[in-house]
Structure 1
Amino acid sequence: MNDLRVLPLVVFAVVLGITLGITYWASKRTSTATDFWAAGRGISGFQNGFAVAGDYMSASSFLGFAGLIFLFGVDGFVGLVAALVAFLPVLLFLAEKMRNAGKFTVADVLAFRLRERPARMVTAMGTLSVAGVYLVAQMVGGGVLIQALTGVSFTMAVIVTGTFMLLYVIFGGMIATTWVQIIKAGLLMACGLVLTITVLARTGFNPFELFSQASQQHPEGQAYLSPGLLFEPLGLISFSLAFLLGTAGLPHILMRFFTVPNAAAARSSVGWAVLLIGAFYIMVMIIGVGARAILGTGGEEAAGPGGNLAVPTLAQELGGGVGTTGGDLFLAIVAAVAFATILAVVAGLVISASGAVAHDLWSNVVRKGSGSEDEEVKVARIAAIGIGVLAMIISILGGEGFNVSALVGLAFCVASSANFPALLLALTWSRFNTAGAVTGVLFGVVSALGLIIISPIVWG
């Protein structure tokens, strides 16, 4: 796979060209703070459902979960189910109420109910903690992936990813970010569908035969189809809870509900997102099992220790194998879709983080609401540059030595421990007060950070 350089780079260039065209188009339609933060509130429920799905279905969803299933079978399925069920709290408790209470950011929701300045300060800290850690995790993972698939150095891969991410946010704001996410979701669904059909065709479209072949190709045999290869029972519960509650506290996901015109559209967008994500995760399950059945134990080295390259390796095999035109083309397409996935997610993370700095801290805490919209957008663009450059530096300095799983786990743990409880109580409990919000968010951030740092996932 390391010899296949040119075709993935060419397809990457096409994807980048399309996204730059979207950014140019969006820049002509971004003139106010509402345009920059909320796409002018002109995104329909259907469109926002695609954008939410595009924001949520990260490279870890596509490559990571498929890799887990390739390596550990049923334990990887559990992660998919937890990630999908995670939208139930969003649908039942948050979507409509957030659209009614908020303006642009998660902190707007708490400030609507509580004392504004302390609520904004502590919520901005939670947002920056989650978005910052998640951003570094995505950029490190993206750098490793692009390096493996194209031969570009890790440093260059991170710089290219970060540069285009900043272009989307600085010039196109939420309009560009939204449409990049929509197109990326469509590409990811199409890619997943082609791989799924091709995998099923290998077993006469008999899923039972596919699972049987997969268990035969795994060193643990039938244990591949039972839980326990990756997680102990307590670890499985913890892993599932992090996804279940953490999703409802991810600022870049929640921020999407401010882009629709009303609460009904917010609820509709969650329904569409669940439908799309559910369909995609079924495809990921089949792709992961198919990778085990088709590649067998011989594919484990090419898939990498975490299984993250199982999907590209499978795509190459389905296309005809190493050195064939079909294999090269399949690999290039999967690599380009994975790259588009990374770009869409990091753009959403940067715009949520810059919102915490510019809208929450600068405009409403430092300036106390006296600044203009133009000033806020200007500060947001400066903040985006600062956040993006810092994330690139941390990613490059840490390099491949970063434990990406630990970083992603930290982001979800902070979101579930700090952001989600405060949001849920602010929207549903009339006696919830500022002191409780500040204490809860601070304790959630510190405890999640501390427990992750001392956990086996960091220290091995």
Structure 2
Amino acid sequence: MSQHVLLAASETLAVSETTEHRPLIISLFAAFVIATLFITVWAGRQTKSAADFYAGGRQFTGFQNGLAISGDYMSAASFLGIAGAIALFGYDGFLYSIGFLVAWLVALLLVAEPLRNSGRFTMGDVLAYRMRQRPVRTAAGASTIVVSIFYLLAQMAGAGVLVSLLLGITSESGKIGIVALVGVLMIVYVTIGGMKGTTWVQMVKAVLLIGGTLLITFLVLLKFNFNISDLLGSAAEKSGAGKAFLEPGLKYGVTDTTKLDFISLGIALVLGTAGLPHILIRFYTVPTAKAARKSVNWAIGIIGAFYLMTIALGFGAAALISPEEIKESNPAGNTAAPLLALHIGGVDSAAGAILLAVISAVAFATILAVVAGLTLASSSSFAHDIYANVIRKGKATEKEEVRAARWATVLIGIVSIALGALARDLNVAGLVALAFAVAASANLPTILYSLFWKRFTTQGALWSIYGGLASSVILVLFSPVVSGKETSMFPGVDFHWFPLENPGLISIPLGFLLGWLGTILSKEEPDKAKYAELEVRSLTGTGAH
């Protein structure tokens, strides 16, 4: 194994420092993977029908689904990305946590119950209810797959840096191999376990994540005698930015462009959750709309508690580890939380190695659970919306539909591996914010118009989905995220012309505008009887699946 120093020897973690404890680290890591594979195989044996594969048989309680939603939502962006963003940018990094949490109010008040009552397996079921089936389902399927792949990029990037740190892998080919390993495990989880296996893995992961975060939070606060002021003061001092570290503006207030970028980020985070496909399909796993509402309430409580603890993770890392050390390990700060665990336990001690292993295993659990949910959402949409209802025109059997979903899982996994290898040095919280922007631009306008606007037509839905999708993706491709900066996906070239890192400020209003404009200009008469039926179903649950 290479003894290449991961971080500068005088102040950082070197591979050799954890070599003697590496068998213990690998054993703990492998134990989790084996346990989740066992759960997946067990759940796979109970998956008999399309309803089992797509919705877990609708057998989960509000609490169970709330726990699973938490596991699905608290991704690598939450655990690795936000901790890194806070460690490097202080107050501005914590803004991610606020945006991610506030977003659940939109999901709770506008989407959760009506969606559960109106659909069967996917977002496309709701959109196609009172519109032309084939074009709307095609658009919904395309949007779901694109959003899921953007989100998958973040998880793959997180997995690459995390396992590379854990195993001491420094070569680029080795890191790409780790991304491929995550992709293979993801494919296995979804093809074998379906929604039942994915949900149980997400519940286990949520418990582990909250437990691991609680442990590190307690140890960080213990180190500062439970004095938050001392913790924040030490973080500000060690960051090199002084008081500015604890005030707005370190990242988003430097120029007018960064101020606009923050507004764009905030809009994307607050509106994006209610349009994320892997969150939306979770509402179909409970038996009633009341259970869907309860699951969101549980999720808000669990997720809120976790994001409060990210203060200790991020500022603890800033107080105990130098910013140079964090950036040397990963330029985007994605390894701040595992490095914090190592430093809290002692860099040269078995306790440090165990803490590093436990926190890394929890982070890896986070990644696997989320990628499984994302892949299931996109493969389900392809199989149910595009294959069964567009290609086969509703004549596919349940067996054929599930088989198509499994093949789609393999293809999506391969694409995610390829793109994840390119995105491995980007901040995972930033990557997830892009997925939120695409979801809020393409999915949310169409969902809200379908549920609450009587005049909404098929043309309006198509303009909204394709317009929001195209504008957000194009703006991302020509933004600093892809080229023009040292931290870009392609740092050696510069073809960006859009100045903002998040397209939400432009693409989200455009998605709503195009949905309205397409409807106003449409010659199609909306089906008022179908809308009345949808309204009754969405609000009362009458006739819901």
TM-score range, shorter chain: over 0.9
Distance 1:318 1:415, change over 3 A: same
Find 1:175's aligned residue among 192, 196, 212.
196
Structure 2 residue 479 is the aligned partner of structure 1 residue 452: no
Distance change >3 Å, CA 214–CA 403, structure 1 → 2: closer
| Preserved contact between residue 302 and residue 309 of structure 1 (Cα < 8 Å) | no
- Taking the aligned partners of 1:154 and 1:207, their CA distance within structure 2 comes to 37
Of the structure 1 ranges 70-79 and 137-146, higher mean CA displacement relative to structure 2 is found in 137-146
User: Cα deviation per residue 1:142-192 (whole Å; 9 max; x = unaligned)?
Assistant: 122211221352132122211211111111100000000000000000000
Aligned match of 2:233: 212
Spell out structure 1 runs of 4+ moving beyond 6 A: none
Q: Which amino acid in structure 2 is aligned with residue 443 of structure 1?
A: G
Q: Where does 1:90-169 land on structure 2 (aligned, <5 Å)? A: 90-152=107-169, 153-169=174-190
Please tell me whether the aligned partners of residues 141 and 382 of structure 2 are also in contact (alpha carbons under 8 angstroms): yes
Contact 1:406 1:452 in 2 (8 A): no
Aligned residue number for residue 514 of structure 2: none
Aligned to 1:411: 435
Tell me how far 1:403 sits from its aligned partner: 7.4
Q: Does the CA contact (< 8 Å) of 2:380 and 2:405 recur in 1?
A: yes
| C-alpha spacing 1:422/1:399, structure 2 compared with 1 (3 Å) | closer
Pick from 439, 447, 451 the counterpart of residue 423 of structure 1: 447
Counterpart of 1:392? 417
1:7 partnered with 2:28: no
Counterpart CA distance in 1 for 2:83 and 2:286 is 32
CA distance in 2, matches of 1:452, 1:96: 32
Aligned-partner Cα distance in 2 for 1:404–1:213 = 26
Per-residue Cα deviation, 1:37-84 (whole angstroms, up to 9, x for no partner): 000000111000010110010111101101111111110111100100
TM-score, normalised to structure 2, is: 0.81
Residue 288 of structure 1 contacts residue 311 of structure 1 at CA under 8 Å; is this kept in 2? yes
Take 2:275 and 2:323, find their aligned partners in 1: how far apart are those partners? 38
Candidates 203, 209, 226, aligned match of 1:188:
209
Q: Which whole-Å CA distance do the structure 1 matches of 2:298 and 2:106 have between them?
A: 15
Structure 2 CA distance for partners of 1:298 and 1:450, relative to 1, 3 Å: closer
Aligned match for 1:300, one of 326, 337, 343 = 326
* CA shift for structure 1 position 323: 2.0
Find the residue that maps to 1:211 and give its secondary structure: helix
Change (3 A) 1:298 1:119: closer
Contact residue 82 and residue 243 of structure 1 kept, 8 A: yes
2:131 and 2:457 in contact (8 A); partners too? yes
Contact 1:166 1:385 in 2 (8 A): yes
Alpha-carbon spacing, 1:157–1:198, altered in 2? closer, same or farther (3 Å): same
**What is the alpha-carbon distance in structure 1 between the residues aligned to residue 321 and residue 160 of structure 2?**
25
For residue 201 of structure 1, give the secondary structure of its aligned residue in structure 2.
Answer: helix
Matches within 5 A, 1:316-331: 316-320=342-346, 322-331=347-356
Q: How does 1:180-259 map to 2 (within 5 A)?
A: 180-232=201-253, 233-259=259-285
Distance 1:251 1:72 in 2: 30
CA distance in 1: counterparts of 2:190 and 2:196, whole angstroms: 9
CA distance in 2, matches of 1:323, 1:213: 23
User: 1:405-426 deviations in whole A, cap 9, x for unaligned?
Assistant: 6643432221010101111111
Q: Distance in 1 between matches of 2:53 and 2:156?
A: 23
Following superposition, the deviation at residue 402 of structure 1 comes to: 6.5
Out of 291, 309, 313, the position equivalent to 2:335 is 309
Stretch of structure 1 that moved more, 398-407 or 342-351: 398-407
Query: Distance in 1 between the 2:158 and 2:323 partners?
Result: 24
Cα distance, 1:298 vs. partner? Answer: 6.0
Shift of 1:7: 2.8
Local SS of the residue matching 1:217: helix
- SS at 2:443 equivalent: helix
Aligned match of 2:256: none
CA distance in structure 1 between the partners assigned to 2:153 and 2:478 by the alignment = 20
Deviation, structure 1 residue 213: 1.9
Question: What's 2:316 paired with?
Answer: 290
TM-score by length of 1: 0.96
Q: Distance in 1 between matches of 2:175 and 2:40?
A: 25
Q: 1:76 to 1:337 in 2, by over 3 A?
A: same
| SS of equivalent residue, structure 1 residue 368 | coil
Q: Is residue 407 of structure 2 the alignment partner of residue 382 of structure 1?
A: yes
Instruction: Give 3-state SS (helix, strand or coil) of 2:129's partner.
Output: helix
Work out whether residues 115 and 126 of structure 2, in 8 Å CA contact, stay in contact via their aligned partners in 1. Answer: yes
Distance 1:65 1:445 in 2: 26
Structure 1, gaps ≥5 residues long = none
Matching of residue 340 in structure 1 with residue 357 in structure 2: no
Distance 2:428 2:100 in 1: 18
**Residues 8, 335 of structure 1: 8 Å contact kept:** no
Residue 297 (structure 2) aligned to one of 260, 271, 290: 271
Q: Map 1:428-443 to 2 at 5 A.
A: 428-443=452-467
Shift of 1:140: 2.8
Question: Which residue in the other structure is 1:353 paired with?
Answer: 378
Q: Which runs of 5+ in 2 are unaligned?
A: 1-12, 254-258, 486-545
Higher helix share: 1
> Relative contact order (alpha carbons < 8 A, sep ≥ 6): 1 or 2 greater?
1
Task: Say which of 299, 307, 332 aligns to 1:281.
Answer: 307
Q: Percent identity?
A: 47
Partner residue, 2:93: 76
Relative to structure 1, the CA distance from residue 417 to residue 399 in structure 2 (aligned partners, 3 Å threshold; closer, same or farther) is closer
Separation of aligned partners in 2, 1:181 and 1:404: 19
CA contact (8 A) 1:192 1:280 kept: yes
Counterpart residue type for residue 245 of structure 1: L
1:6–1:150 contact (8 Å) kept in structure 2: no
Give how far 1:241 is off. Answer: 1.0
Question: What is the count of residue pairs matched by the alignment?
Answer: 458
Q: Give 1:399 deviation, angstroms.
A: 6.2
The Cα of 1:336 is off from its aligned counterpart by: 0.7
**How far is the alpha carbon of 1:237 from its aligned partner?**
1.2
Letter in 1 for 2:270: L
Distance 1:400 1:25 in 2: 32
Q: Name the SS for the 1:228 alignment partner.
A: coil
Superposition deviation, residue 193 in structure 1: 0.2
Q: CA deviation at 1:310?
A: 1.1
Distance 1:17 1:282, change over 3 A: same
